[in-house]
Structure formats: C-alpha cells, structure tokens
Copies of this chain bind each other. A is one copy, B any other.
Amino acid sequence: MADFECKNSNLGVFEPGNLKVQTIKVKKSDSSPPPPTQLYIVAPVSEGTYPLLLFCHGYCVQNSWYSQLLHHISSHGYIIVSPKLYKCMLIALNNEVKTAAKVTDWLCTGLRSVLPQKVQPDLSRVALSGHGRGGKIAFALALGHVPTSLKFKALLGIDPVACRNPPTWPEPEILTYVPRSFDLSIPVGVIGTGLGNQPKCMMPPFAPNGINHAEFFNESKPPCSYFLAMNYGGYDMLDESKAALASLACKSGKGSKALMRKGVGGIVVAFLKAYLGGQDDDLKAIVDAPTIAPITLDPVIFVKE
C-alpha cells in the first residue's frame, strides 16, 4: 500500500456489487447484423433487464484495458459496451465519433443477439461515458456531432481531454470557452485527475490545462457534477498492469491504483444509479461528504440548477 489514498469506504458503490459478471468479446463477424467495430462487453450473468453504458476508451489504449473498472461497474447491474475506436493502437483515425455513433444505433438492432438470452438490455436507459480522448468522443456524440437514433439519458466524462493528437487531425471542435455552452439537456458528470496536467520526464502532459476536465465541467449546464481525484494521474484507473505501463509515459499517482479504480467506479455507479435508476442517495452522499470515497476527491461540486 502506498503512502497516499489508503482509506476504506463505507459506501457500497465503491465496492464490487453483488452480481457476478461476464466478459463478452464480439468481433465484426460474430453477429448479425454485425457490429461496426470490435466490442468489449461486460454484463451481469444473472437473468434480468439491465440499463446500459456505452464506454469510449482513451487514446493509445485498448477497450479491454479497463476490465477491472468495467467489471466493478457492471457488478452493480449494468451492461457495458465498449467499442474499439481505432484500427490500431497508435494510429488513430478521425472517424471515432462516427464509429461510436454507428455502435450506438447498432445497440438497438444487434446487442440482444450477442448477449445471453436471459440478459436483456433496457434501451430506454442508456448512458454514455468515455475516458481521456474517449471522454471528448463521448461529449461529441452526446452533442450530436454525428446523429444517432438512440438517445442518451446521461453523460459522464472520465478525465476528458480535447487535445488533437497529432494536431493536424481533422476532428470536431468541442470546447467553446463559454461557460455552460454545451447544448445538452441531460445530466452531465465530469471526473478529473489532479496529475493529468503535469508532464512526465520529457513527455508533455496527458491533459493540459485549458483543454481538460475543468473546462469540460465549466461548459456543462446544470445538473452537473464534478469530482477531482486530486492525487492521481490520467491513466490510473486502467487495469493494474496497464496503469503501470502507462505510468512510464504519463504522470501517475503514488497511491493504490486499486483504490483509484474503486473511487472512479463508485462515482460512475452512483451517477448511473441517480440518472438511470432514479436513486440519487449515493450521489448525494458523495457530494455531501466526499471523504466517504476511498480516494481524496477535492473538490466535489454539484450544480443543481
């Protein structure tokens, strides 16, 4: 255990849920209609109808690198679909939003066929999330940069960052630098990391000031919530071994990465419970007393209206 971030939480969302979960990897050839891209799905095993989370992975990482975080969330009763957004890990294309939009619409026609028969998605309750550059993709998708027939009920960015990488890629501009300018009528949440804006050795920061979580929150209309994991870096919520790998290039926190995953996972679950399940007790509890989280969240902000 590292010197930082070693609290235990007494709020259930920060611990794994009661449901056993399964991983389902879907290739383009695996189903009919075929998914627009390879999918990494995590879903409860037990029979039931579950709300859905579409999750966009970050830059230079794969959708399967979040397995521990996604398992945590899914075990609380959510089906998570994470599409592969790049054709290879290092060369990204500018059609990520299009891909994410195609996957969104495919959920209506194709998801049921790749899930076990007893596990049903509730397509009236779908939230959208993404990490890093995937957070920007999520905002772009929610903002309608590419239209979808399926609509999202809530949007949660995990350390979203708007940088172009490399700077010449054509891609949708998201940030306007006008407070509350995002034209969204759904609840928005933003989780930031306190070290994401710091350089690592010779490498530039993962999420520079002015284009990171703080600005995404500033441009969000109420109801919106903000949580800063102040002692962690932008890739510290990845699977243990992948977070270690990322820490070679990106500033990383000294604290336990397992607690960071619990902290981020817990916020996601509390957010989903509030806006897909209508139960906002846990989200309110975190807002009212951020110290109940297993990691230091400072600040936590909730803007109701």
Interface positions of A (Cβ within 8 A of B): 175, 177-181, 194, 197, 209-212, 214-215, 217-218, 226, 228, 299, 301, 303
Complex interface: chain B residues within 8 A of A212 (CB): 177
Q: Which residues of B have CB within 8 Å of A177?
A: 197, 209-210, 212, 214
What are 11 A-B residue pairs whose CB atoms fall within 8 Å in the complex?
A175-B209, A178-B194, A179-B214, A179-B299, A181-B299, A209-B210, A210-B215, A214-B215, A214-B218, A215-B218, A218-B218
Copies held by the complex? 2
Give Cα distance in the complex from A211 to B177, angstroms.
Answer: 10
Whether the pair A179, B210 counts as a contact (CB closer than 8 A) is no
Chain B hits for A211, CB < 8 A: 210
A218–B301 alpha-carbon span in the complex (Å)? 11
Closest residue of B by beta carbon distance from A219: B214
CB-based nearest B residue for A175? B209
Check if A180 sits within 8 Å of B301, measured CB to CB: yes
A194 CA to B194 CA in the complex, in Å? 29
* A222 and chain B: residue at smallest CB distance: B303
Instruction: Give complex CA distance A215, B208 in Å.
Output: 14
What CA separation (Å) do A75 and B250 show in the bound complex?
56
Q: Kindly provide the distance from the CB of A212 to the nearest chain B CB, expressed in whole angstroms.
A: 7
Q: What's the minimum C-beta distance from A122 to chain B, rounded to whole angstroms?
A: 33
